Structures are given as structure tokens and as C-alpha cells.
Structure 1
């Protein structure tokens, strides 16, 4: 699979644009954009805007996969699961059931913030291969229902996304369910200089949120988002 930097360069050349033209279109400096085409792992909060200028899918630009690919991959995992004739109880044991929850939080004194997942809306079942593919443990996984359009087209209202509660160490350019300033939200996170974090929305009509030493006491990572389904 190609890297993000390779997809950026390929898309820009197909669009017939120079690095300077793309950078100016999204409000970046040309050297900063040039670095994105050189660094395979470097993320940017401008990626959704760049995708729009280059007329490509922002999710594909970031991951190399389309949202359709993600759904197809899960379908293949399910279809390729061993087909064994078993009793209803045994068949139930072949699947792993995960709670679809309403994430709630309670704030105590100072920096005490607790998350609660006891409001279970329903349960959904997955084959064991699903968890192996994503490198997560079923006991650490919760499903949540997306609302709002801040992460369209990657995650839309009504989509179900899965989070790994054990994965709270922020990795640049990944999506996380977080709590910040009284709200639980799903955001793409970029690490910035000075220890700051940018909480980014793919939908350009939403402004980025900045987490710094001044307001960081109200920030918590709930878990890393690793799967979504429409």
C-alpha cells in the first residue's frame, strides 16, 4: 500500500497543481506542505482541506482505503469465518458480543473525570477474527453511536464506531473518543510543538480545538477509534 506522502504527491500531480498552489489554497506555507510529501508518517490538520483541493476522498488520502474498503474488509472476515453446524448455544459462543453504549461522564473535584458505560443501547456480535485483525481485546472494546456531522465523510450521524478503551496513548493523526470542556466527542488528534494537541474535525465548517497546559485539566482520552460502520 502506498504511503500518505505518496498519495499526496500522486493526487497533486493528477490535479495539475504545484506544491505552492496547494499550500496557498489551504493556508499553509509551501515548505510545510512539501514536508508532507516527504514524510510518510507526518499528519496535518489541513489534510481534509487538501483533499478537497485535490478532489480526492480525505479518508483515502489519510489511510489508503476508502470507506467502502473498510466495510468490504469486515464483510470478508465475516463471510470467511468457519461455517460449522452447531447447536444454537454453541453458535452463540462462536460470536463475541459487544455493548453499544451511551458514553456518560461524571466530573468530580479538580481533575477527577469518570466515564460510565452502563447505559447499554443494544449488543452487536462479531467474529473472533475481527478483534485479531485490529489487534484489540474484546473486553476493552465498546461501541458508540455517532451524532453530528463534524467528521463527515469518515463518520456520519447514525454510524457505529468502535473504541479500544485500553489504547489511550495518543498517536499522531489517529482518531480518539475524548472528553474535553464538558463534552464527549470523536476527534482526529495532531501533536503540535510545545506539547499542544489539535482536536481536528474533517468537516471544514468546524474549527479545531486546541488542548494546552492552560486548559488541559479538562481533557481525557476515552479510547482510540479503530472501526466504523454505516
Structure 2
């Protein structure tokens, strides 16, 4: 059965577990540009080869619907397994930067001995290097986390991805941070008040603000500043 480019894109994207927003971000294009391809409004794109690589499908099949021949598959396998330094550089160094999607875990001791761990990697997402320059962050300082709960809706929905700079832990008034407080990790907008009190604000109005003071904030810790999210 003949399929359209949009149908092949959607099929491949769903199998790979990507939302349209996440795939567009990984490729480095606007979500609307990707939607135009999947909806059939556009039938050509210079990014199809890159999309095919991210979705782990054959680029020619994605573009034309034609399955590769046995010879094509054998040549591709030889290229993938080649020990040639040049071929390996071309295969591995295509200008994309891969960032871990992690589970944040923390361990607590006495006093303020709270440590955060990012070593449970769930998957990876790739970005154009310009993404990091645009957000004024270093790639090695960035981790991505799945949002849980609805306290930051509608800005961040449950199961959305959000990125934090784990070295940016000095609170700036009005910015959003991943923090540890009252025995759990959470994402909150933080406002500063006189006397050093911090207000942890949820964007969903059904949740009340939390206040961090010198009395209850002994183990309050900032994990990192949130600077990007994708649904």
C-alpha cells in the first residue's frame, strides 16, 4: 500500500516515542514546520535525512516510500560497522549534541548534606549547538527531566520535558527552578521577599504558595534553573 510522506513521518515518530514538539526541537526546526510535513501541507524538506536518523529509519524510504534493496542494506551495514576513522567521524559527529533525560534522585544525611544524582538515564535528546548558545548554557551542565504532577500547568504539563542548568543555583526573582523542599524534588517559580524568605509559586491556582524561611528552610536546596520545556 502506497503511503504519503506525512503518514510515514507520523508512523515513524510514534514508534520512536516522540511528540511533534520534541522531534522538531531535536531537528532544530519550528514545530509548525514539522507539522506542515506531517499534515501534508509540505512534501519536501532539507531536513528529511536528519529526521530519518533521529527516528532510526531509512532516509530514502522516508522520503519516497521505497524500501531499500538488499544490496543497499548490505552497503549500509558495512558503513555502520566500518573502522575507518573518517567514516566513524561522519557517523558520530554530525553537529548534534545529545543530552540525557534523567530521573532526579536525592540522598539526605544530617544537617544540609543533600546530594542529587542524575545517573538514571531514561533516554537522550539531541540539539543543535546553537540551542545552548541561545540559552546561554553549557551543554555539559544541562539535564532534561520528565515533569510530574500538574502544579505548573498550563506552562508545563505532566510528562512534558524540561531542561535545567544544574550549575545555575543562585535564585533570581521570578525564575523557575527545580528544588528540593519538604522531602521532595519539585519545580516552582521562586519570588524573593524581604528578610530572605523565598516564595515557591505554582502556576496552577489550585496549589497554594510555599514559603521557605530560616525556620523551615534548613534542607532547602536548588537543583537547577529551568530554561526550556517541550510538550
Identify the TM-score tier after normalising by the shorter chain: 0.5 to 0.7
User: Partners of 2:125 and 2:150 in 1: how far apart?
Assistant: 24
CA contact (8 A) 1:104 1:116 kept: yes
1:78 to 25, 28, 51: 28
Aligned residue in 2 for 1:137 = 138
1:216 CA drift (Å): 1.3
Say how many residue pairs are matched.
158
Aligned residue in 2 for 1:228 = 229
**Paired residues for 1:1-230 under 5 Å:** 75=25, 78-79=28-29, 89-93=89-93, 94-230=95-231
Listed as ranges, the gaps of 5+ residues in structure 2 are: 1-20, 31-45, 51-85
Listed as ranges, the gaps of 5+ residues in structure 1 are: 1-70
User: Partners of 2:26 and 2:92 in 1: how far apart?
Assistant: 20
CA contact (8 A) 2:27 2:127 kept: no
CA contact (8 A) 1:77 1:130 kept: no
CA contact (8 A) 2:26 2:126 kept: no
Q: With the length of structure 2 as denominator, give the TM-score of the two structures.
A: 0.63
1:90 CA drift (Å): 2.5
- The structure with the largest alpha-carbon Rg is 2
| CA RMSD, 1 decimal | 2.6
Q: With the length of structure 1 as denominator, give the TM-score of the two structures.
A: 0.63
| Residues 36-62 of structure 1 deviation map (CA, whole Å, 9 limit, x = unaligned) | xxxxxxxxxxxxxxxxxxxxxxxxxxx
| Residues 70-126 of structure 1 deviation map (CA, whole Å, 9 limit, x = unaligned) | x69x7598139x979995742532111111000000001111000001111111111
CA contact (8 A) 1:77 1:129 kept: no
- CA 1:151–1:158 in structure 2 vs 1: closer, same or farther (change >3 Å)? same
- CA 1:97–1:213 in structure 2 vs 1: closer, same or farther (change >3 Å)? same
